[in-house]
Amino acid sequence: MGKIIIASKNPVKIQAVKNGFEKMFPNQKFEFISVSVPSDVADQPLSNTETFQGAKNRADNASNEIKDADFYFGIEGGIENLDDEMEAFAWVVAKADGKYGKSRTATFFLPKQVVQLIKEGKELGDADDIVFNRKNSKQESGAVGILTGDIIDRTKYYTEAVILALIPFKNVDLY
């Protein structure tokens, strides 16, 4: 049985990692443990680079905290300005045996009201809660779920990126 450390207590991120492993390694059993570790970046990363660094830092920090696991996962949501708009996305970093698997989710653009609150210093999840009159949406469907009517919820959104981050570990001979 493989031991998987997820560098988050967020139930959405935990479930996405579980889903990814079940799909990529359906005949194996895994133990999943969630830990809270720092990203060492801003609470709301404001660029692709900062978001990637946050995910990688989470995987690294989890591996420093718990030494005997097979995989360590960091997932970090971020935003970035593009022209006059703001896109949202997340990075997923898997770490095992000193190697990394990396993937970024698809991107989507945020509504103007949400963007304005972010520019005023709010995190995306808090801005979503205000604009859409929700509570703790980042641990549920998130902005992607709210804006798609849950056609793509936050768990599904992250699961695809988890699967892609596992490619080097499923195809060891190629990486």
Question: Does the pLDDT of residue 18 top 90, yes or no?
Answer: yes
pTM of the model: 0.94
pLDDT digits (tens, 9 = 90+) for 133-154: 988 776 678 899 999 999 999 9
Instruction: Give me the domains of the chain, ranges plus CATH numbers.
Output: 2-107+153-174 (3.90.950.10)
* Per-residue model confidence (pLDDT) at position 157: 96
* Distance separating alpha carbons of residues 16 and 6, to the nearest angstrom: 10
Q: Output the six-digit token pair for 80.
A: 């970035």
**Beta-sheet strands, E only, within 2-126:** 2-6, 30-34, 71-82, 85-96, 99-104, 108-109
Instruction: Provide, rounded to the nearest whole percent, the portion of the chain with pLDDT above 90.
Output: 92
Is 68 annotated among the ligand-binding residues? yes
CA-to-CA distance for 83 and 108, rounded, in angstroms? Answer: 14
